[in-house]
Amino acid sequence: MKKFPVTPYLLLLPSMIYLVLFFAYPMVQSLQLALRREGQFLHLRAEPAPEAAPVGTLEMQTEVRILDRLRTEEVLPNGRTRPIYWFQVEAEDAAGSTVQGWVSQSNVFIESRTESTTARVVSGETTQEWTLDFLRRMVTDFRFGSALGTTILLIALILPLQFVLAIVMALVLQSQIRGSTIFLYIFTLPLGISDLASGILWYSIFTQRGFLNSFLVSTGLLDQPFIFIQAGNQGWMIAAIVLAEVWRATSIVMVIVVSGLQAISRDVIEAGEVFGANLWQRLRYIILPMLKPSLQVALILRTILAFQVFAVVVALTGGNVITVLANETYRWYDPARFNNPNVAASYAGFIMLLSLGISMFYLRAVRSQEEAEKAL
């Protein structure tokens, strides 16, 4: 009898636990926050008793008219008693219908329990319902279209530049020319810098009194500083963001490409040289096809990270004139601004769905020949 292989599943267990705790559970919670609405409603009772049947529902802060009142006594644990008032009230519910019923004094604010003729609903029961209101609010937000368009534009500009530069950098390192180790240190230096630090660094380059303007003015190329970062120069602001992101994150793609190049046998490349293939032909017909698995991983990783671009945009532009999806997520969540976690969760879920969709596209579009044959 063949023994069941237990070891692979034991090795897989920590990964599954990690995915459940740090991916699946937060994702489900975020989607629930985007699609579920919590509210408080007060149920009117047919009789002055907590267990009586509900006869109507009122929203918080609804003004009610007092029709009748009833005083009862509640026995405390120490044997004493205290008065408890029940009020028969009348008001209009959310649908505009007039409802009547009894409510406890703990559910309404009333100035005088014995004389007041009006009160206001201040507490009730917490209820939850599924809704698309937060998604509609996200889509109809006047900044949503701009944020989505800018995010897609940045991805379209950043990814091609990063991959071209990363492949060139990887080929330089793989060529093992003299000083390639120094190039490795130079290329990977931005990996040690955070998003925010990168944005601040490039802001110091493009600002009115920054390094770029100082150089242009001192060399006589400009008579006075040019304001690159301002509302009227959105093209320059986009260019600054692209340069900052390309400088900061190209090294990530380069590391992946280098690992892929090291997996290619030098015999294959040398065979291409023997048959007369020049550098461009070897790159197009030998290196790039064999790099597809590595490029697939790099594409997925960089696209997901590009959807999350936030700190660089805020550091360079303030996040008002130029905005992206991640910035809008933060604005809706920020207690000092909109303080609406539900709409923020809608933005986060939208970013996640876009990332998953594009990742699935990459998995099918960028496949090795063996993978394509297996799919058929």
pLDDT at 172: 86
d(CA 220, CA 214) in angstroms, rounded, equals 10
Contact between residue 66 and residue 111 where contact means Cβ atoms under 8 Å apart: no
Is the pLDDT at 368 greater than 80? The verdict is: no
d(CA 37, CA 57) in angstroms, rounded, equals 17
d(CA 372, CA 347) in angstroms, rounded, equals 34
User: Which tokens is 180 given?
Assistant: 């390639």
pLDDT at 308: 85
pLDDT at 373: 53
Is the pLDDT at 199 greater than 80? The verdict is: yes
Q: How many CB atoms lie within 10 A of CB 347?
A: 25
Is the pLDDT at 161 greater than 90? The verdict is: yes
Secondary structure class of 322 (helix, strand, coil): coil
pLDDT at 268: 82
According to DSSP, residue 46 is labeled: S
Contact between residue 362 and residue 354 where contact means Cβ atoms under 8 Å apart: no
Lowest model confidence (mean pLDDT) among 69-78, 249-258, 297-306, 324-333: 69-78
Task: List the beta bridge partners of residue 39.
Answer: 127
According to DSSP, residue 2 is labeled: P
Contact between residue 236 and residue 229 where contact means Cβ atoms under 8 Å apart: yes
Q: Is the pTM for the entire model greater than 0.85? A: no
Is the pLDDT at 177 greater than 80? The verdict is: no
Mean pLDDT of the chain: 87
Note the pLDDT tens digit of each residue in 104-128: 998 999 998 888 999 999 988 887 7
Is the pLDDT at 56 greater than 80? The verdict is: yes
pLDDT at 277: 81
- What domains are defined for the chain? 44-127 (no CATH), 136-375 (1.10.3720.10)
Q: How many CB atoms lie within 10 A of CB 308?
A: 15
Task: List the beta bridge partners of residue 292.
Answer: none
Q: How many CB atoms lie within 10 A of CB 273?
A: 13
Task: List the beta bridge partners of residue 64.
Answer: 119
